[in-house]
Amino acid sequence: MRVLYVYCHPLPESFHAAILKEALAGLKAAGHEVDLLDLYAEAFDPVLTEEARRRYHDVPENRAGLETYIDRLTAAEAMVMQFPTWCFGMPAMLKGFCDRLMMPGVAFDLSDPAHVKPSLVNLRRIVGVVTYGRPWYMAKWMGDPPRKTVMRYLRWFTGGRARAEYHALYHMNVATDAQRKAFIARVGAAMRRI
């Protein structure tokens, strides 16, 4: 399976880097073809500029400057999004990726605005790998936007066909080494099962 692995963390020595290493090893062991899209390393521009917003509804002009990213997204059969939760949401870099790529002519067909149709039917799997600094009950109290983004929002663009799963480590700031290692192992095992 062709897997687009969207990774969003600015620090190469982070806990997320350790998760990524295990996740990529798991995908490789399962024989998947992985396209690692490291948003920070690739210097992805998350800003939807005035010009880009003006052409947002103009298909195919809205693709200008994003062609490579669009090709990678539409070639994938599975997408993994790995990120930390900041302010009970995804990092601005990843939010910008969604703002810029989940657009008409790519993620959905807006030719009939009364009946918008999802277009990312190429995706059969969507996986979230997410850490939180706060405990699960606080995330739940806030509505857990990252979980909803992965499990509902992104899945909608596949016409509801993609199987979605979510792996979260809550209260990471007080997690023991054993809990962190267990989470890394859990993510690696999940990648081998894709």
Residue 185 token pair: 């192992």
CA angle at residue 152 from 147 to 157, to 5 degrees? 130
**88 band by pLDDT with thresholds 50, 70 and 90:** very high
Query: Mean of the pLDDT values across residues 112-135?
Result: 97
Give bridge partners of residue 83 from the DSSP assignment: 130
The pLDDT value recorded for residue 57 is 94
The pLDDT value recorded for residue 163 is 97
**pTM attached to this predicted model:** 0.96
**129 band by pLDDT with thresholds 50, 70 and 90:** very high
User: 103, 69 in Cβ contact below 8 A?
Assistant: no
Secondary structure percentages of the chain, helix, strand, coil, to 5: 40, 20, 40
Q: Give per-residue pLDDT as tens, 171-184.
A: 999 999 999 999 99
Q: Give per-residue pLDDT as tens, 92-123.
A: 999 999 999 999 999 999 999 999 999 999 99
Residue 19, domain CATH: 3.40.50.360
Average pLDDT of the chain is 97
Element (H, E) at 166: strand 163-169
Q: In whole angstroms, what is the distance from residue 78 CA to residue 122 CA?
A: 8
In single-letter form, the type of residue at position 72 comes to R
Q: How many domains does the chain contain in total?
A: 1
Structural domain of 118: 2-193
Query: Mean of the pLDDT values across residues 141-165?
Result: 97
Distances (CA, A) of 66 to 11, 15, 56, 80, 98: 24, 30, 12, 19, 12
User: 5, 27 in Cβ contact below 8 A?
Assistant: yes
**21 band by pLDDT with thresholds 50, 70 and 90:** very high
